[in-house]
């Protein structure tokens, strides 16, 4: 009779060794495998490029019946999701290479995914295995969602030329009006971004998000924070979690914490 002494940090299942169980790391391996081509089928990285190209061709006009209040910007466009996926893969490649050495993979999504796929045995038994599985799988989930999702824009201000509402990417310093024959530009939208932060806090101060979702939402609102930064703040007691499996935090708490950090800087 097998006696189990350990619980998987990701799903809580019993196991006889490691930090996360074989099914959880197997699910990670399957997600990573989807990031490079297989025979005639291209990987999700190509699907992201296609989604980005479609967004460039069919950008919203900025007019019409869009509400003036910006929605909570959790749905970032495909280019942001691609950058986040690349950054997440690169981070975990560096962590493994620093600890175990080896040949650095090329700085591409498929190459880094292949490298991490070969390191799943190391990942499963490492102290940080649950963080790696959570962050990598969440990055791939966001990738899949972004492929068929239209670009999300936030309110940047009123056009100084035609007075129509203008929408732009949340992390940009300016936004161009897309009304036909206008081309006006809303400059210095920091104030609008801060208003969006306050609106998000007022609308949903207790909104519970995973660490990855909270980091993306905060970055979309102009706050510099990463998944690992939020996890570190929780571990140090600077941020109170609302649940541990999966780790979730309140968006309002994350925004307050990053606001304090911004004031100190």
Query: Does 24 share its domain with 133?
Result: yes
Q: Retrieve residue 91's tokens.
A: 């981070």
Give a yes or no: residue 243 inside a domain. yes
Query: Does 135 share its domain with 160?
Result: no
Query: Does 141 share its domain with 167?
Result: no
Q: Are 149 and 156 in contact (CB under 8 A)?
A: no
More confidently predicted of 59 and 202: 202
Average pLDDT over every residue of 150-174: 66
Query: Does 38 share its domain with 109?
Result: yes
Average pLDDT over every residue of 181-190: 76
* Calpha distance 101→92 (Å, rounded): 13
Predicted confidence at residue 136, as pLDDT, reads: 94
Predicted confidence at residue 214, as pLDDT, reads: 79
Query: Does 38 share its domain with 122?
Result: yes
Query: Does 137 share its domain with 185?
Result: no
Confidence class for position 152, pLDDT limits 50, 70, 90: very low
pLDDT at 151 over 60: no
What are residue 168's DSSP bridge partners? 154
How many CA within 13 A on the CB side of residue 236?
Answer: 8
Query: Does 141 share its domain with 154?
Result: no
Give a yes or no: residue 6 inside a domain. no
Give pTM, 2 decimals.
0.52
Q: Are 36 and 48 in contact (CB under 8 A)?
A: no
Confidence class for position 75, pLDDT limits 50, 70, 90: very low
Confidence class for position 66, pLDDT limits 50, 70, 90: very low
Percent of the chain with pLDDT over 90: 24
φ/ψ (deg, to 5) at 169: -65, 140
Give a yes or no: residue 15 inside a domain. no
Q: What contacts 244, CB < 8 A, 6 or more positions away?
A: none
Query: Does 58 share its domain with 127?
Result: yes
* Calpha distance 251→29 (Å, rounded): 30
Average pLDDT over every residue of 244-250: 83
Q: Are 249 and 202 in contact (CB under 8 A)?
A: no
More confidently predicted of 264 and 112: 112
| Domain region containing 173 | 150-264
Give pLDDT tens digits for 167-178. Answer: 766 556 778 887
Give pLDDT tens digits for 89-99. Answer: 999 999 999 99
Give a yes or no: residue 44 inside a domain. yes
Give a yes or no: residue 12 inside a domain. no
Query: Does 114 share its domain with 205?
Result: no
Give a yes or no: residue 11 inside a domain. no
Count: domains in the chain: 2
Predicted confidence at residue 139, as pLDDT, reads: 92
Among candidate residues 131, 148, 165, the one where a domain is terminated: 148
Give ∠ CA 24-241-220 in degrees, rounded to 5. Answer: 85
Among candidate residues 86, 121, 148, the one where a domain is terminated: 148
Query: Does 41 share its domain with 141?
Result: yes
Long-range contacts of 90-97 (CB under 8 A, 24+ apart): 91/135, 91/228, 92/116, 92/123, 92/132, 92/135, 92/136, 95/128, 95/132, 96/122, 96/123
Give a yes or no: residue 171 inside a domain. yes
Lowest mean pLDDT across 12-21, 76-85, 225-234, 252-261: 252-261
More confidently predicted of 46 and 200: 46
Query: Does 122 share its domain with 212?
Result: no
Q: What is the DSSP letter of 247?
A: E
Among candidate residues 128, 148, 168, the one where a domain is terminated: 148
Residue the block writes with tokens 């824009």:
153
Predicted confidence at residue 192, as pLDDT, reads: 55
Query: Does 29 share its domain with 113?
Result: yes
Give a yes or no: residue 103 inside a domain. yes
Q: Are 91 and 115 in contact (CB under 8 A)?
A: no
């Amino acid at each position: 009779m097998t006696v189990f002494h350990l619980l998987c940090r990701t799903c809580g299942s019993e196991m006889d060794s490691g930090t996360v169980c074989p099914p959880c790391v197997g699910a990670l391996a399957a997600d990573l495998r989807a990031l490079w081509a297989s025979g005639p089928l291209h990987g999700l990285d190509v699907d992201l490029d296609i989604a980005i190209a479609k967004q460039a061709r069919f950008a919203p006009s900025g007019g019409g019946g869009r509400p003036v209040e910006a929605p909570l910007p959790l749905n970032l466009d495909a280019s942001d999701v691609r950058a986040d996926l690349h950054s997440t893969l690169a981070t975990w490649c560096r962590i493994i290479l620093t600890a175990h050495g080896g040949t650095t993979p090329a700085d591409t999504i498929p190459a880094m995914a292949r490298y991490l796929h070969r390191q799943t045995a190391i990942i499963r038994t490492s102290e940080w295995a649950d963080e790696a599985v959570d962050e990598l799988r969440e990055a791939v989930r966001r990738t899949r969602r972004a492929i068929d999702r239209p670009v999300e824009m936030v309110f940047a201000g009123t056009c100084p030329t035609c007075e129509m509402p203008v929408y732009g990417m949340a992390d940009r310093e300016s936004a161009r009006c897309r009304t036909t024959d206008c081309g006006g530009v809303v400059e210095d939208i920091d104030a609008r971004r801060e208003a969006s932060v306050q609106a998000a806090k007022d609308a949903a101060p207790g909104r519970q998000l995973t660490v990855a979702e909270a980091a993306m939402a905060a970055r979309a609102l102009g706050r510099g924070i990463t998944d690992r930064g939020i996890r570190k703040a929780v571990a140090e007691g600077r941020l109170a979690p609302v649940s541990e499996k999966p780790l979730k935090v309140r968006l309002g708490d994350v925004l307050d914490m990053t606001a304090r950090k911004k004031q100190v800087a």
